[in-house]
A and B are shown apart, each in its own frame.
Chain A
Amino acid sequence: MPPLPTRSVPRTAELLATHDVQAGRRAHDLPGKLFIVEGIDGSGKSTQLDLLHKYLVSEGYLVVFSEWNSSPIVKQTTRRGKRLHLLSPMSFSLIHAADFASRVHAQILPALQAGAIVLADRYVYTAYARDAARGVNRRWLRKLYAFAPQPTLAFYFDVPLDVAIQRITNRGESTKFYEAGMDLNLSPDPWTSFRLFQGRIRREYERLVPEFGLTRIDATDALVRQQQLVRSMVAPHLEGAMKVDRNALGNALWAAGLQGRYLSQSMREEAEA
């Protein structure tokens, strides 16, 4: 484990200042592991990451989960921008980069430094694909995200557009303005726009797979087969990853002959597990 930083410069800034555009490469020096999933809406990536999450937790690993668009500092601004349709391709791109930067700084990087496993539902490749589909310069995007730690493994859940749309409609969901790319005026019909826009995103992902060595998973395969494949690829990287003692509370209660009736329900369940 590297020595803890002692300077007052915040860590993300340090990563960027010292490693410039190669910043991501430094992730290899960090003791933690970063596994991320990518894919268009309806590819099933979140389902697979959720299964992986539960598996790793059951194996006793300390897992930190990070979701796209979830920074407590930024997400309100993004939501408001989306609700009021204020975001243009560039402001959409920049506000999502701000959200990501905040999560790297406060959540992802500290966990990796501590040696934990980090799971991210969507990562920089979502921005590369989506923003490029909106006409944002690809080279500029890669420089913008230079501060991102490089993932240990990045899974791309590849699904044909028709299958993805079928899954979304089966869930009974309607299209959202920005997810359908309605801001680009591709079509006045939301589903037509969605198809055109997600098709563009899919083509961008096709470029990213070879460029960044993303691991392609056939998302039309049986769910359990996909999960087995994901676990088998994650397994070799787990050695030395931080574990958490889930029986600590139960052991303490047992040793003292107590029932823990003042503990909350969730803590008791955990202790009994």
Chain B
Amino acid sequence: MTARRFYGARPPGITTEPLPGRLIVLEGVDGVGRSTQIALLQEWLEHRGFAVIQTGLTRSMVAGRGIQRAKRGNTLDPITLNLLYATDFWDRLERQIVPALHAGMVALADRYIFSLIARARVRGLSGRWLRDLYDFALVPDRVIYLDIDVEQLLPRVLAGGGFDYWESGQDYLRDPNLYQNFIHYQEALLKEFRRLARANRLTTIDARGSVSQVFTRLKSELEGMLDDMAAEPLATGPALVLPSAARSQAPQRLRREQPV
């Protein structure tokens, strides 16, 4: 079992009991293929016998709808938006991720604090403030950063429905040209992601190429960690949560917390 650490002080409300599960995070810009890879990962993991939960931005009970509502307006500043995301993130950490890890499951997170920090950094917020804010986060067992260039990203985004207001930085870039803003925003974002990946020793995976090529790279990165997990005696986990119980709980929790 890996030792559980937080980036900063242990926040209130988190169990001090062992968390024998594993937290795997996929990071990267919109359109890089995170959700596709997560869906494949879940199937692969379940096929191998691991109990899995998925979590992603704005899927919390407490703030998910609030964020969608706030983003529809035009008076949202980056600090408020970030604090709404932080609320959403914390709620999922507390209600989804930690209970799953406690139950010995694999938690797959579609984006983590790095996306939130990168987005806020390009909008001019202080890096120190963001690090301090998010130091309540649990250090994941593995963070995979899916890296790509804007040229490879463009066709994927266009095929996936075109340029989104927020993903083109329209909230802070004043150029009326959406295409230019998209390029400008995504380049700035990629730069931030790469900087974060270096500074935090995230595992960078080349996300260019076919879905199956990327998935093969992903699997080979995670193989060793999962073998370790499978080899661990269950005794390291809390006695009351058996894998079968964990499995029967999981779908119920996920259904309840899906956004409406």
> Hey, what's the 0/1 contact readout for B110-136 against A, CB within 8 Å counting as 1?
000000000000011110110011011
A12 with B77, Cβ < 8 A, contacts A17-B125, A94-B87, A135-B12 known: yes
Assess whether B79 is in contact with A91, with CB atoms less than 8 Å apart: no
Q: Does A8 contact B (CB under 8 A)?
A: yes
Assess whether B172 is in contact with A9, with CB atoms less than 8 Å apart: yes
> Hey, what's the 0/1 contact readout for A74-96 against B, CB within 8 Å counting as 1?
10110011001011111100110
Q: Does B177 contact A (CB under 8 A)?
A: no
Assess whether B132 is in contact with A144, with CB atoms less than 8 Å apart: yes
Assess whether B123 is in contact with A13, with CB atoms less than 8 Å apart: yes
Assess whether A98 is in contact with B61, with CB atoms less than 8 Å apart: no
Q: Does B248 contact A (CB under 8 A)?
A: no
Residues 56-75 of B contacting A (Cβ, < 8 Å) = 61-63, 65-66, 69-70, 73, 75
Residues of A within 8 A of B13 (CB): 88-90, 135
**A-B pairs under 8 A by CB, number:** 137
Looking at A100-108, A196-204, A244-252, the stretch in contact with chain B turns out to be A100-108
Assess whether B77 is in contact with A10, with CB atoms less than 8 Å apart: yes
Partner of B62, one of A20, A77, A135, A137: A77
Assess whether B87 is in contact with A91, with CB atoms less than 8 Å apart: yes
Q: Does B173 contact A (CB under 8 A)?
A: yes
The total of chain B residues at the interface (CB under 8 A) is 39
Q: Min CB distance, A131 to chain B, in Å?
A: 9
A77 with B77, Cβ < 8 A, contacts A91-B94, A101-B83, A134-B12 known: no
Residues of A within 8 A of B76 (CB): 73, 102
Residues of A within 8 A of B125 (CB): 13, 16-17
> Hey, what's the 0/1 contact readout for A26-49 against B, CB within 8 Å counting as 1?
000000000000000000000000
Residues of B within 8 A of A76 (CB): 66, 69
Residues 1-31 of A contacting B (Cβ, < 8 Å) = 8-10, 12-14, 16-17, 20-21
Residues of B within 8 A of A88 (CB): 12-13, 90-91, 94
A89 with B12, Cβ < 8 A, contacts A8-B174, A71-B80 known: yes
Q: Which residue of A lies closest to B174 (CB)?
A: A8
Q: Min CB distance, B194 to chain A, in Å?
A: 20
Q: Which residue of A lies closest to B132 (CB)?
A: A143
The total of chain A residues at the interface (CB under 8 A) is 44
Residues of A within 8 A of B83 (CB): 94-95, 97-98, 101
Assess whether B91 is in contact with A77, with CB atoms less than 8 Å apart: no
A106 vs B77: C-alpha distance in the bound complex, in angstroms?
8
A16 vs B78: C-alpha distance in the bound complex, in angstroms?
11
Residues of A within 8 A of B73 (CB): 73
Residues of A within 8 A of B132 (CB): 21, 140, 143-144, 146
Q: Does B189 contact A (CB under 8 A)?
A: no
A82 vs B200: C-alpha distance in the bound complex, in angstroms?
36
Assess whether A8 is in contact with B173, with CB atoms less than 8 Å apart: yes
Residues 1-45 of B contacting A (Cβ, < 8 Å) = 8-9, 11-13
A105 with B87, Cβ < 8 A, contacts A74-B70, A135-B12, A140-B8 known: no
Residues of B within 8 A of A16 (CB): 79, 125-126, 129
Assess whether B80 is in contact with A102, with CB atoms less than 8 Å apart: yes
Assess whether B129 is in contact with A147, with CB atoms less than 8 Å apart: yes
Residues 57-84 of A contacting B (Cβ, < 8 Å) = 71-74, 76-77, 80-81, 84
A13 vs B77: C-alpha distance in the bound complex, in angstroms?
8
Assess whether B136 is in contact with A90, with CB atoms less than 8 Å apart: yes
Residues of B within 8 A of A9 (CB): 123-124, 172
Q: Does B52 contact A (CB under 8 A)?
A: no
Q: Which residue of A lies closest to B84 (CB)?
A: A98
Binding site for B on A (CB under 8 A): 8-10, 12-14, 16-17, 20-21, 71-74, 76-77, 80-81, 84, 86-91, 94-95, 97-98, 101-102, 104-106, 134-137, 139-140, 143-144, 146-147
Offer 27 A-B interface pairs, CB within 8 angstroms, sorted by A. Answer: A8-B173, A12-B79, A16-B125, A16-B129, A17-B124, A74-B80, A77-B65, A77-B84, A87-B62, A89-B11, A90-B12, A90-B94, A91-B62, A95-B83, A98-B80, A98-B84, A98-B86, A98-B87, A101-B83, A102-B77, A134-B12, A135-B13, A139-B9, A140-B8, A140-B136, A143-B129, A147-B129
Query: Which 3 A-B residue pairings sit nearest by Cβ, starting from the closest?
Result: A77-B66, A98-B83, A135-B12
